[in-house]
Amino acid sequence: MEFKKLLEERSADLWENFIPTLSIDCVIFSFHDNELQVLTLKLKNLDTWGLPGGYVKKIENVDDAAVRILKERTGTENVYLQQFYTFGKMNRSENAFEEFDNTLWHKQRFISIGYYALAEHSHVNLYMDEFSSAVKWHSLDNLPEFMMDHRIIFDKALMTLREQLNNHPIGYSLLPEKFTMPELQKLYEGILGKKLNRGNFYRKILRYDILVKLDESRKGGAHKAPDLYSFDLEKYNNALKEGLKGSW
Amino acid sequence: MEFKKLLEERSADLWENFIPTLSIDCVIFSFHDNELQVLTLKLKNLDTWGLPGGYVKKIENVDDAAVRILKERTGTENVYLQQFYTFGKMNRSENAFEEFDNTLWHKQRFISIGYYALAEHSHVNLYMDEFSSAVKWHSLDNLPEFMMDHRIIFDKALMTLREQLNNHPIGYSLLPEKFTMPELQKLYEGILGKKLNRGNFYRKILRYDILVKLDESRKGGAHKAPDLYSFDLEKYNNALKEGLKGSW
């Protein structure tokens, strides 16, 4: 169906069953190919990329709406999901849907509640809904042009990860069960947006006493097989309660 | 005017000019008499205490609404103000305004954006609006019974202060320009909710290198006059950017 018609058709149901003026936008992070990535959608009528978003039902908890939207729009489920900021500037969605009638639901002023999700890459089965023409992971080193204020929402999510790195199970949620030390370092570098000295990183992360060195190493590859680690979940969770000691 | 009549009278204007379903609640912290305190209001029809709150105009940025509400409802202005969480549970305001007609603005489901404010105590000129029968600072050691989910909102605000202590100018915003080391320690203890060892606290806070010891001491009192300190604002702000090193 044509995009314009699709939106207009959905509009009546949205006005009836959803809370006006309120939206949710999700920043889904993942770690893949040794880099931090973010999930983006392309709406059928746009050339720029957007974050997966949606609306809250009149009879629905906001947190539940975020879980539903993630699944409906991208197929992502069972991930670590955390509200991080609400975006309330008056003109934040200005110019979107300009060609539509003012009665269109999507043309309202929206105050958007931001959630970040941490997804273990191999667990995500990407799905594309009827509003999207593409769904794609973008490396943080190579971000596309975003629609509306979605770049601001993304930046705030990343800044939140940075601040919460010592208090939330961010590494655990993004990495596979078994990982190498260079992978963990790459993840930290991606979140912090800077290179870290290898020796310092190893010393510091081991001093946290939250890792278990496994009796196996990564098979394949030209180099010496690197050691595999996993998180000691009990120690990790206890350490997060107090906050991991020291900053990067 | 009778409280019921007052609300009903305001209701029409609120429906016309404000965004439905959305509210703001403010947790105003202050440091006074050597303890961390929070500002509470008593609504005219209630025996429990509430946080100062209000609504967002259709033509108003959400951040500006928070500033306006703080001033209108409590007289507090020019304070450090920070959004911290949005409360979206379906039944969070259940049972409030039960005795009113369903058309009353205040009886809607509200999703509430929480802001915390850090006020230097001597700068606040408390003011009581027409909806309140009392406005009062409560010590965190002696909190009253709160209305609706305001205790949950307060707890989340305090937890946020705790997490942000190393990244936001919390000490600077709450203390007077000149303060003693025992006062700073009391403030940290209030935020962290635990006693700190005096010697460790002194060593650690001095190691941050964000304080200036002044050439004067506090006059009066029976004991030896304690030294006065103030923040070296440039060093403090630079240190916060990186995050103060180490946790408590």
Greatest alpha-carbon pair distance for chain B in Å reads: 63
Q: What percent of chain B has pLDDT over 70?
A: 96
- Contact state of A63 with B164 under an 8 Å Cβ cutoff: no
- Kindly list the domain boundaries of chain A, sorted by start residue: 3-164, 170-242
Q: Return the CA Rg of chain A.
A: 20
* Cβ-contact A229, A180 below 8 angstroms: yes
pLDDT range class, residue B247, cuts 50, 70, 90: low
Nearby residues of A12 by Cβ (< 8 Å), 6 or more positions away: none
- Indicate the residue of A109, A113, A244 with minimum beta-carbon distance to B86: A113
Mean pLDDT, chain A, as a whole number? 92
Q: What is the mean pLDDT of residues B192-206?
A: 93
**How many CB atoms are closer than 10 A to CB B130?**
10
- Under the banding of pLDDT at 50, 70 and 90, the label for residue B98 is confident
User: Which among A65, A88, A164 is the nearest to B62, CB-wise?
Assistant: A88
**B177-242 shares the fold of B3-164:** no
Query: What are the start-end ranges of the E strands in A12-131?
Result: 18-32, 35-43, 49-50, 53-57, 80-87, 111-119
Helices (H), B42-179: 62-74, 150-164, 170-174
Mean pLDDT for chain B overall = 92
B242: pLDDT strictly greater than 80: no
**Residues of A in Cβ contact (< 8 Å) with B243:** 163, 247
Please state at what angle helix A150-164 crosses helix B150-164, rounded to 10 degrees.
70
The whole-angstrom separation of Cα A137 and Cα A143 is: 10
Q: Do B62 and A22 touch (CB under 8 A)?
A: no
What digits encode the pLDDT tens for the residues B26-39? 999 999 999 999 99
Given a cut of 80, whether residue B221 has pLDDT beyond it is no
- Residues A189-199: b if buried by 16+ CB within 10 A, e if exposed: bbbeeeebeee
Whether complex ipTM tops 0.85 = yes
Q: What share of chain B is helix, strand, coil (3-state, %, to 5)?
A: 35, 30, 35
Instruction: Output phi, psi for B77, to 5 deg.
Output: -150, 170
Residues of A in contact with B109 (CB under 8 A): 19, 58
B177-242: what CATH class? mainly alpha
| Residue in chain A nearest B108 by alpha carbon | A58
User: What confidence score (pLDDT) does residue B222 get?
Assistant: 62
Give CATH for domain A170-242: 1.10.10.10
Higher pLDDT, A120 or A2: A120
Does the pLDDT of residue B245 top 80, yes or no? no
Residue A247's pLDDT band (cuts 50, 70, 90): low
Q: Would you say A52 and A39 are in contact if contact means Cβ atoms under 8 Å apart?
A: yes
Indicate which of B22, B196, B200 best probes the interface with A, i.e. most A CBs within 10 Å of its own CB.
B22
CA nearest to B104, candidates B116, B112, B96: B96
Of all residues in chain A, the one with the smallest CA distance to B85 is A85
Q: Tens of pLDDT along A20-39?
A: 999 999 999 999 999 999 99
- pLDDT category at B138 given cuts 50, 70, 90 is very high
Whole-number Å distance between alpha carbons of B242 and A163:
10
| Residue B34: both structure tokens together | 């050597």
Distance CA A202, CA A29 (A): 24
Chains A, B: CB pairs < 8 Å: 76
CA A234 from chain centre, in angstroms, equals 25
> What local confidence, expressed as pLDDT, does residue A216 receive?
84
Can you tell me the distance from the alpha carbon of A174 to that of A123, in angstroms, rounded to the nearest whole number?
A: 10
Higher pLDDT, B10 or A45: B10
| pLDDT of residue B1 exceeding 80 | no
CATH of A3-164, one of 3.40.50.300, 3.90.79.10, 3.30.572.10, 3.40.50.150: 3.90.79.10
pLDDT, one tens digit per residue, over A187-218 is 999 999 999 999 999 999 999 999 999 998 87
Residue A222, pLDDT score: 62
Q: What is the pLDDT of residues B182-191, one digit of tens each?
A: 999 999 999 9
Mean pLDDT of B51-67: 98
Which residues, in sequence order, are CB contacts of A9 under 8 Å at separation 6+? A1
